[in-house]
Amino acid sequence: MTTTLTEIKHLPTLALLVCCEYLAIFKKTVAMHEVFLCRVAAHPILRKDLNFHVFLEYNQDLSVRGKNKKEKLEDFFKNMVKSADGVIVSGVKDVDDFFEHERTFLVEYHNRVKDASAKSDKMTRSHKNVADDYNRIGSSLYSLGTQDSTDICKFFLKVSELFDKTRKIEARVSADEDLKLSDLLKYYLRESQAAKDLLYRRSRSLVDYENANKALDKARAKNKDVLQAETTQQICCQKFEKISESAKQELIDFKTRRVAAFRKNLVELAELELKHAKGNLQLLQSCLAVLNGDT
């Protein structure tokens, strides 16, 4: 009777596995969405955006249209132009110390976060592989154990149960690592990219401003189209100052947010790792006690 029960327990393992995987991925995506929405809500300007309000309040289907091919192609070209431009613009030295410092910092930070994120991904993947291996070992031990009912087979069955449970824990560890560490790093990768983009836009406007200044000087010298040059220059100046101001604010916010997010995630990561390690330890020790008690 017991053998049939254990057999039945093992049948839906595949379905259970798929369920667990789905849940893990779901948790991840949900967490990302939550962070996104919170960020938008916390931002002084964005939170007033009408689209955002609609998103939060409209209780029927929003029917958002995805980007069609033409739009995707446009995006692609825009990106290419932007990166080429960015190279040109980054050569310009910035007057403002703050921004200069930020720029160097961001470039370096971005690269390192990219590196750390990639390595962390690899690490969580290996961890998941180890958990999968435990699963296979568990099932092999199980089939070894069901050969006959001698002593060693009962032993095998118990060890296979242990492996099953450890596997679950290891899988959770890897999923949690993924959630807390890898996702954090990935997010900050994108954030630092966004910050870099912001700086790029600012530099762009600075270059425009300086070009406008030069054009104005040239126009004044030639005494042609002065007014037009002046207006252009003024617009550029305004744009530049506005962007500088908001950029400064954003970058400071970025730093605080980053620190807070890292803290939260690292603390949670450590706590979860502890919980799982303790659970694992308890499981192993109780299994050992049973096995030693048998002999």
- Which residues are at the interface with other proteins (CB under 8 A)? 105, 108-109, 112-113, 115-116, 119-120, 122-123, 125-127, 129-130, 133-134, 136-137, 140-141, 143-144, 147, 150-152, 155, 159, 162, 166, 255, 258-259, 262-263, 266-267, 269-271, 273-274, 277-278, 280-281, 284-285, 287-288, 291-292, 295
Q: Is residue 4 helix, strand or coil?
A: helix
Q: Quote the tokens at residue 166.
A: 């450890």
Give me the helix-helix angle, 226-294 and 183-222, nearest 10°: 170
Q: CB-wise, 147 or 149, nearer to other proteins?
A: 147
- Kindly state the helix (H) or strand (E) to which residue 47 belongs, with its residue range: none
Give me the helix-helix angle, 151-177 and 97-145, nearest 10°: 170
Q: CB-wise, 79 or 140, nearer to other proteins?
A: 140
223: alpha, beta or left? (left if phi > 0; alpha if psi -120 to 50): left
Q: CB-wise, 167 or 239, nearer to other proteins?
A: 167
Q: CB-wise, 82 or 275, nearer to other proteins?
A: 275
Q: CB-wise, 127 or 186, nearer to other proteins?
A: 127
Backbone angles phi, psi at 44, to 5 degrees: -60, -35
Q: CB-based burial of residue 137 (10 Å sphere; 0-12 exposed, 13-18 middle, 19+ buried)?
A: middle
Q: CB-wise, 37 or 270, nearer to other proteins?
A: 270
Smallest distance from other proteins to CB 189, Å: 11
Smallest distance from other proteins to CB 274, Å: 5
Smallest distance from other proteins to CB 183, Å: 14
Residue 251: CB atoms within 10 A of its CB come to: 20
Smallest distance from other proteins to CB 47, Å: 26
Smallest distance from other proteins to CB 151, Å: 6
User: Residue 170's closest CA among 284, 5, 292, 27?
Assistant: 284
Q: State the residue for tokens 């199980």.
A: 142
Q: What separation, in Å, do the N-terminal and C-terminal C-alpha atoms of the chain show?
A: 24
Greatest Cα pair distance, the chain, in angstroms, is: 105
User: Using an 8 Å Cβ cutoff, are 146 and 117 in contact?
Assistant: no
Q: CB-wise, 156 or 209, nearer to other proteins?
A: 156
CA angle 10, 13, 17 (to 5 degrees): 160
Smallest distance from other proteins to CB 185, Å: 8
Q: CB-wise, 24 or 284, nearer to other proteins?
A: 284
Smallest distance from other proteins to CB 48, Å: 30
Smallest distance from other proteins to CB 126, Å: 4
User: Using an 8 Å Cβ cutoff, are 170 and 134 in contact?
Assistant: yes
